[in-house]
Structure 1
Amino acid sequence: MDDAAIIGGGPVGLGLAVLLAQQGWTVRVFERRHGISGHSRAIGLHPPAQQVLARAGLAAQLAEQGTAIRRGLGISNGRQIAALDFASLPGPYPYVLALPEHQTVALLRERLRALDPLALSEGREFQGIEGQSAEAIRFTVAGPGGLQATEASWLIGADGVQSAVRAELGVAFHGRGLPDRYLMGDFPETTVWPHSAALFIEAQGIVESFPLPHGLRRWVARLGHGQPPDADLPELIRERTGYRVDAEACTMRSCFSTANRRAASMMQGRAVLLGDAAHQISPIGGQGMCLGLIGAARLADLLASGAVPGGGQLLQFQARQLKAARQAGLKAHLNMALGRPVAPWLLPARNLLFSAAASNRTVHDAVARSFTMT
């Protein structure tokens, strides 16, 4: 019997597996897919997430492969109206690290393989829970050989927004979808800001831009009402920002909607929900994956210290994690609201508000800490 069985081999599930394996636990990660998708929506590792991954033994690899985003710029009508400098952040990581999710997953897989070559089981899909006892939880997974019955001391559902574990537990997922839709793509760098994020605050809606490793840059544009998901992203970028990107050189393109939801409960006996299975945060602001990694570190410490099902430590963990998810959701909602289209005559007033906030040191530092989860 394994100490922990983790359903879902994304960054959060793998991060938890590595942290537990480092403490001598036997872990098994069941991932329904084979290989790693090159399609990365999440790219930002905030300072607390970098600390978690450093605990997992990946500090050197992150520094080598990632791109540090050291400031954010607010731009409107071709003019800089605000700047957010992360140099004042406390701790060893005064920046957000840009690293596509598939690279983070690859690093975590390699680290887990070094700890236990048999820990990751690909092509295995969670089917259902057979029962629980005081010491173990029994469940089944489907794979090439058919159904496999197994058991572990703990079952962790880190299997995303459409969590099969959450559905099996019958846990409600409260919240709602939001009207904001975005189109994004990765293109060769054409700006002069290799270590800066840029927010183009325009009347037609915001365009966000982030540096990536390997000389790439991600562009994210809010779609207006009625704009289709197959809209011409390079043309949209040019119209709103004046920057030109090479459509033929696009390495990733995606349209996504937004939502904020939280599970009514994160645990049921020896089954625990983690990451997007427990809370869905709008990608705007980039805090969803980081919140999941922070939760993985907290859960690893509690389990390794002997936490028991229904005990006070796990109840406190649940309350803290869901509160953090609620706060992250509110921040994301505010970020989206500030980036929605406005009447052209209102744009100067909104720009003035951004400029005033950025020029006030107290407000500037508070916004920097809020944005980076520090």
Structure 2
Amino acid sequence: MDVIADPLSLLRLRTSEKWRTFGEDVLPLFVAEMDFPLAEPIKRALHEAIDRNDSGYVAEQNGFADAFAGFALGRWNWQVDPAHVTTTTDVSVAIVETLRQVIVPGDAVVINPPIYPPFFDLVPEAGGEVHEVPLVRSDTGWSLDLDGLEQAFADGARAYLLCNPHNPLGHPHSIEDLTAVALLAAQYDVTVISDEVHAPLTHTDGTFTPFLSVSPEAAEYGICVTAASKAWNLAGLKCAAIVTSSARMRAALDGLPEEVLWRTSILGLIAGTAAFTEGEPWLDGAISAIQSNRVLLADLLDAQLPGVGYDQPRASYLAWLDFRQLGWGEDPSVMALEQSKVALNPGPTFGAEGSGFVRLNFACSPEVLSEAISRLAAVM
């Protein structure tokens, strides 16, 4: 099915951060929220919940786990035991609460910059200390620094916060890298928490592999945190999943406070269940629109901003743009906002490796994307 972005006139009626942070003269291409309308099955499920006044606390038996397990099996051939699925508020809360179960205060937790900026804050919130092992880039693309990871694990890191597909690069990690990570985790007794919230948005020319599925070692030492929030634009409804694939990891989560489950929004759970059971046709249409914009962005940059570096992502709708050749400074988003009235994410917030970069959200209409690049090019 075709999925078409809402017009600006309708988008500016939204009350979310994306549409309330800046004035109407600014094109907001920063926060990870799509401009597409909600999928009809999700809208229907939410309307039905309101019609029956269903706004209480979530029940422990609720259908969400079965819905996610069915989606994971059909989409990725990953067999998930619904008994190993726990819900909570969102992926960030899932990360913090999970880390608290597998580390003690002061333990090192590895992350891979350039990385989703909250990772730098979630680790200390859980009591850990951030240990950076940046991604490496070669002529064949991005990959994990396996030697760097092994050194960090050998030096005493107790957990590894993996992002797969990687934000902001839109890079699904290879099965070879993930298998190697699992072996290292087993060798050094490190828990791998894999944030896979962008996984349903993997493009048709990309391959996503759930970390827990790659090997017995991954199942034994891995925990997945995910949600329907990014793929179906449900971030504000607040429902995420914590998934395990072994008795060992399930036991590690036995200490989770009961409130972790109760913080789940019943409307978020209803929406997520509808997404995983009935939302694939809409999702495929959204991915088609995103891929079209991915190519359009490359063409626009080649024609109007040829000095900007851009590797087309293979998942999600975020572009990691290298402005260093243009001389826009350490944080090009400042000039983009002040001179072009285009709001982008500042590269330096993704780590030191982000100096001279910005992140651009292209889950919008082709017209908005074209206008944004024209505004940026006008500065030159």
TM-score, normalisation: structure 1: 0.26
Higher percent of residues as strand: 1
More helix by share: 2
Query: Quick check: which has more Rg, 1 or 2?
Result: 1
Normalised to the residue count of structure 2, the TM-score between the two structures is: 0.25
